[in-house]
Amino acid sequence: MSSTDFELDDDNYGEDDAGFDESSSKLTAKESLEKRRLIDDLLAQRRLERELKDFDYDFDDDDLDDED
């Protein structure tokens, strides 16, 4: 009789997991997308900062050259 109870418990446990997995997978996908967007934004910011470093602008030197 205990083996029958155990089998029933397994069946109920499997059904609960299916519902939980579906809702958790939706949350995981949403969180994953948000993290990916954040990473993309950070990478874009770093890329732009590197591009700005390539330009050697010194506005103080430009102002002195114009006065001469």
More confident: 42 or 7 = 42
14-39 residue pLDDT tens: 555 555 677 778 889 899 999 999 99
Q: What is the pTM of this model?
A: 0.45
DSSP string, 1-46: -HHHHHHHHHHHHHHHHHHHHHHHHHHHHHHHHHHHHHHHHHHHHH
Band (44; pLDDT cuts 50, 70, 90): very high
